[in-house]
Amino acid sequence: MANHKSALKRVRANEKKRDLNRYQHKTTRNAIRAFRANENKEEAAAKLPSIVSMIDRLAKKNIIHKNKAANLKSRLTRHLATL
């Protein structure tokens, strides 16, 4: 266990950040899953900008790699085009 007050604070802060990162990542994955399951092109087209924004936020905060973010966005737009 940590011996210094600053180390204890760092442990608490890391736990909070981990929980927030996990929440945001899971929320984005669920949104992507719902987008792929959607068969209506108009609804999917309306949801795409918000999902792309979520993915960009994750990449900006280094929760996911920037290349993974680019791949996800590319696949989602391709999926939208095939609807």
- Band (pLDDT 50/70/90 cuts) for residue 81 is very high
What mean pLDDT is predicted for residues 66-80? 98
**Helical H runs in 1-83?**
5-37, 41-60, 66-82
Query: Which domains occur in the chain, in start order?
Result: 5-82 (1.20.58.110)
pLDDT tens string 25-71: 999 999 999 999 999 999 999 999 999 999 999 999 999 999 999 99
- pTM value is 0.90
Nearest CA-CA partner of 44 in 3, 6, 5, 82 = 82
> Residue 7 has which token pair?
């180390």
